[in-house]
Amino acid sequence: MKMRKCTSCNSYTLQDKCPLCKGEVRVVFPAKYSPEDKYGRYRRILKKQAHKREKD
């Protein structure tokens, strides 16, 4: 499971196609570690959503 970014609308997703514009997505390389993790909350939300979808 890797975070992906849409090349058209720049939104983030875990899916193979952008859910907003159906555009192409590319794998986003991980950011360098920082104790002040700005996007950790968003990564955890995406991970929970993906885990819920796998259960269903």
pLDDT tens for the chain, 56 residues: list them. Answer: 788 999 999 999 999 999 999 999 999 876 677 788 888 888 889 889 988 888 77
Number of structural domains (the chain) is: 1
**Residues of 35-53 as b/e, b for ≥16 C-beta within 10 angstroms?**
eeeeeeeeeeebeeeeeee
Domain that holds residue 10: 4-30+38-55
Distance (Å) of CA 21 to CA 11, 24, 31, 40:
9, 9, 25, 25
The enclosing domain of 21 has a CATH number of 2.20.28
